[in-house]
Structure 1
Amino acid sequence: MRILHTSDWHIGRTFHGHSTLDALGGVLRALVAQVREHDVDVVIVAGDVFDSATPAAGCYALLTDTLAAIADAGAQVVVTSGNHDSAARLGFQSTLLRPGIHVVTDPQTVGTPLTVSDADGPVHIYGIPFLEPALLRHVWPGVRTQAEVLGRAMQLVRDDLATRGGRSVAVAHCFAAGVEPTPHLERDIQQGGLDVVPLSTFDGVDYMALGHIHGRQRLSERVRYAGAPLHYSFGEGDKPRGSWLVELDATGLADVTWLELPVPRRLVTLVAPLDDLLTDEAYAGHEGDWVSVEYTDTLPQRDPMRRLQERFPHCACVAHKPAEKTRDDGLSYARRVRSARSDRELLDAFLRHVREGDGANVREAALIDDVLDAQTLAEAAR
């Protein structure tokens, strides 16, 4: 049996103010083509289907069209809710979908699998929706953390599997021990900090399909994250996009292969002086990319975003990060002002304060001299 493990579609997410809906639609069409090409039997979407608990109408349309296309390609679909999703809204969608498309959002269904059979017998697929400990304490007394609710859920899975027998796959959305998150991207699953789920929690199944981390990760041969199908931040620009193709034989897990997905527009961070970025042919190959710029000039430059977008139309953010910082002399602004013996020194003290150590350069010093000399002449002529 062939199972395609994907996750974290985040339908409706924006990228620096730009809609990603069309780009994601193209990537998901490529995923449907892979389902056909590789004769996939089941597609798993491990949470964070939407980016918001209140997705716009166009987001529902993209989800419905994609799930229908996967079904038309001959595969069943198992979708679980993530921490970004509204379980109620995503669950409502499930009642409107055709047979073969299964949306799992109700914690009460944990331990009840979707069973799919092939020539080697049944495969039990246990969808575990995102479990909020605060909402489950009346059902599972004593649970306080993600680790505890996932531990309880996986025990239900193992108990059910012990009576059914056969091969098994489980799906969950969490932060597992051993992952490397993308900084400032994956939202904490528990308010107040990350709640890490031990890897041993997932013992007992042939394959564990995880969601929440946006880059692919292999925690063990049978425990993996597929990551998001689209880049959603410059911090993940170097991470490949795709899905895991999981193959089960008669005895269990046989093989796991990575299937690449297309990247609609590359993400790149460019670090150089502003004039080099605007003129050097070495950067011509990035003119069609999403670009984040860190320009290294000593001083801030005038209107850098507008100038950069003339060459890089998809420049999304710009930051001034000087290559070298002048040494701090340890003097406070007040001490510099008090020690100034002339207007020139007073202006230089101001510049050193606002520039974190840099005073007037040669051109600026000449301009200051001209202004102060003109002021002196004007005062003398009164």
Structure 2
Amino acid sequence: MRLLHTSDWHLGRSLASAPQLDAQAEFLTWLLELAVEREVDAVLVAGDVYDRAVPPVEAVRLLDDTFLAFASAGVPLVVVSGNHDSAVRLGFGRGLARASGIHLRTTLDALTDPVVLADEHGDVGVYGIPYLLPDAVMAELAAERSHTSVLRAAADRIRADAAQRGLSRTVVLSHAFVAGGAGADSERDIRVGGIGDAHAAVFDGITYVALGHLHRPQDIRLGGSSTVLRYSGSPLPYSFSESGDVKSVTLLELDDAGVAVVEAVPVPAGRPLREVRGRLEELLARAGTDLAGLAECYVRVVLSDPSRPASPMERLRAVWPHTLVLDFEPDGVRPDPDTDLARLTRTTDPVEVCSLFVEFVDRVPPTADEVRVLREVVELAQRGEEAGV
């Protein structure tokens, strides 16, 4: 049996100021082509289909078109809701969608409603665990207020159902933060008050756990167990902390004993991300040589000039039109702002307070001329206070 695992589409999301809907549509077209080419038995989508609980209209249309395309091609989809999704909105029409091979698992009552697939070795039960907010589901699951507890209760129901059905091979989709995973800046933290991490051991005995939430593709180790847990990662990068990641979907094959093959298939959609650092004039001089390829990339630039150049973003976009982020980190060691705050008292010279603020914003101390102007302004304000102005 061959399955394709993906997650964290975040339809409707932008990268900084750049909308990603076209790249998302490109990915979804490619995903269906890959599923047909590899003759997969189902595609598993492990949550965060949308980026927001109330997604933009264009994102809803894209998902509707995607569901229709998969149904028309006869490729089953199994989808769970993530923490970015509204379970009610994503699950709307699930009864009708089921008849077309689109299986939406967004509620607790669907925990024991597997999609049963068959191959020459017998049946495989594909179960879905939507994102579980402990406060919302702990009573119904008779669990404690933690992700580990509610996921264990959900997995226990699945194991019991699989045993009753005589299913020796089980696949579970789950949108959760499993301990041991490495995150990225673009993920919304679901760890609140230390209750967010879930132990991988709650999935012991499951053949394959298709995880969603973390945007970097990675395996989660469960020592002493044959269970395979994997995050497919997001198909597109949604922050520059992911600029070095190879985005992929996971293709897995099951034999009679369990997981036989796990393959990461790189995603060809979207622009690459690059980060460059240096002084503005030096970077612009390299735009026609070793940095020429950045013209087709989304770019984050970190300028190290000792003072802020004039119109840096306009000049950068003239050579790299897809520059999205501009940060300033001047050469040299910047004082610790906490140390600066500790120096402030009610009797601190106001000019020194203003100088520290300038240094905090510009990341370099003010020049002598700037200090002179600050002193003149402070003295003018003090004279105004004394005069009652």
TM-score band by shorter chain is 0.7 to 0.9
Unaligned runs of 5+ residues in structure 2 are 222-226, 374-389
Matches of 1:262 and 1:211, distance apart in 2: 20
Q: Which amino acid aligns with 2:170?
A: S
Q: Which amino acid aligns with 1:303?
A: S
Structure of larger gyration radius: 1
If the length of structure 2 is used for normalisation, what is the TM-score? Answer: 0.84
| Number of residue pairs the alignment of both structures matches | 356
Matches of 1:65 and 1:357, distance apart in 2: 52
Once the two structures are superposed, residues 218-263 of structure 1 have per-residue CA deviations (whole angstroms, 9 ceiling, x without a partner) of: 1137100001111111111111111111101122211111111114
2:250 aligned with 1:226:
no
Percent identity over the alignment is: 38
Matches of 1:127 and 1:337, distance apart in 2: 61
After TM superposition, the structure 1 = structure 2 runs for residues 276-315 of structure 1, keeping only pairs within 5 Å, are 276-280=282-286, 281-315=289-323
Query: CA contact under 8 A between 1:175 and 1:197: conserved in structure 2?
Result: yes
- Label 1:327 to 1:68 Cα distance change in 2 as closer, same or farther (>3 A): closer
SS in 1 for 2:158: helix
Matches of 1:16 and 1:297, distance apart in 2: 23
Deviation at 1:278, TM superposition (A): 1.6
After TM superposition, the structure 1 = structure 2 runs for residues 38-117 of structure 1, keeping only pairs within 5 Å, are 38-97=38-97, 98-117=99-118
After TM superposition, the structure 1 = structure 2 runs for residues 1-382 of structure 1, keeping only pairs within 5 Å, are 1-97=1-97, 98-165=99-166, 166-182=168-184, 184-193=185-194, 195-220=196-221, 222-280=228-286, 281-325=289-333, 358=365, 360=367
Matches of 2:164 and 2:84, distance apart in 1: 34
* Stretch of structure 1 that moved more, 201-210 or 107-116: 107-116
SS in 2 for 1:75: coil
Query: CA contact under 8 A between 2:329 and 2:363: conserved in structure 1?
Result: no
Query: CA contact under 8 A between 1:136 and 1:143: conserved in structure 2?
Result: no
SS in 2 for 1:84: coil
Deviation at 1:23, TM superposition (A): 0.9
Matches of 1:238 and 1:30, distance apart in 2: 22
SS in 1 for 2:205: coil
Let me know the Cα RMSD of the aligned residues. 2.8
Matches of 1:189 and 1:266, distance apart in 2: 28
Query: CA contact under 8 A between 1:111 and 1:153: conserved in structure 2?
Result: no
Deviation at 1:25, TM superposition (A): 0.3
Unaligned runs of 5+ residues in structure 1 are 339-347, 369-382
Matches of 2:41 and 2:302, distance apart in 1: 46
Matches of 1:47 and 1:326, distance apart in 2: 41
Deviation at 1:349, TM superposition (A): 11
* Stretch of structure 1 that moved more, 317-326 or 124-133: 317-326
Query: CA contact under 8 A between 1:40 and 1:74: conserved in structure 2?
Result: no
- Label 1:93 to 1:279 Cα distance change in 2 as closer, same or farther (>3 A): farther
Deviation at 1:112, TM superposition (A): 2.6
Q: Which amino acid aligns with 1:233?
A: S
Deviation at 1:96, TM superposition (A): 4.6
Q: Which amino acid aligns with 1:180?
A: A
SS in 2 for 1:265: coil
